[in-house]
Amino acid sequence: MKTKYLYPKSSLQLQKFTIILLLVTFCLPLSLLSQSNRRMLNLTEFTVKMGHNSQFKEGVKMWKKCYNDNNGTFKWNMWQRFQGEGNVYVLTSTMNNWAELDKDDEDTASNNCRSKAMDFIWPHVEKVQYNLAESIPEISRPSPLEGTKVVWTYNVKISDYSAFKEVTKEISSTMRSSGGGIRGTWYNVVGGGPDVADFFIAIPFVNFAELDKDTDGVWEVYEKAHGKKKADELRAKFRSALISDWAYLYSYMEDLSSN
């Protein structure tokens, strides 16, 4: 798996085995497009120990320099969570398909730099959570936003899959026709622990200033297109399908990324 290069080998093996076991009931059959339009998103969440933020960042920079100096080919983005408990970073990378998990290519650069991670990153990490998500092209924006520096994520755990599917398809259709286009990318999270979302949408922004713009939200767009009664009914169906929801902002850390 492509996020392996910062991890001890035994951790990678356990992660790959767990991912394969968790490929079960939460795959959302929404896409009318070909499978090749889907993307797999690897997410590795680092919670940094209190007071260790500077050391963690310097450790990642050291590992990055070592890896690039050794002609490593792995590409990743690092994001810092803007709110919530603890000091959290999320490393993301992508795969084209599940078949990439079958590859076990030896990476000389990662082997040469393993000691950098063990000595200068891991001592400053409180905990790590690995997750894997699959994009849902049918209800997502058609392409990434160039120059993205901020991402707003809205996460949901659901109790009614059918209602959730109906609402997201209806909202996405309206955003395409009346809202200037779909603003984010929906992902289906594959497996995970009890606190992990079932689905989330990631909405990109060029900077924080874009959040100051007075833009209609999806429910306002839907109400203007279909009327208040229908909007209220659809919103009620959506809320009834949820167990819980939450949102975070993430800022892009260019000096900790390599792409």
Q: Cα–Cα distance between 132 and 93 in angstroms, integer?
A: 10
For domain 2-256, the question of CATH label 3.30.70.100 is answered with: yes
Domain extents in the chain: 2-256
> Residues 117-140: pLDDT tens digits?
999 999 999 999 999 999 999 999
> Residues 58-83: pLDDT tens digits?
999 999 999 999 999 999 999 999 99
pTM above the 0.75 mark? Answer: yes
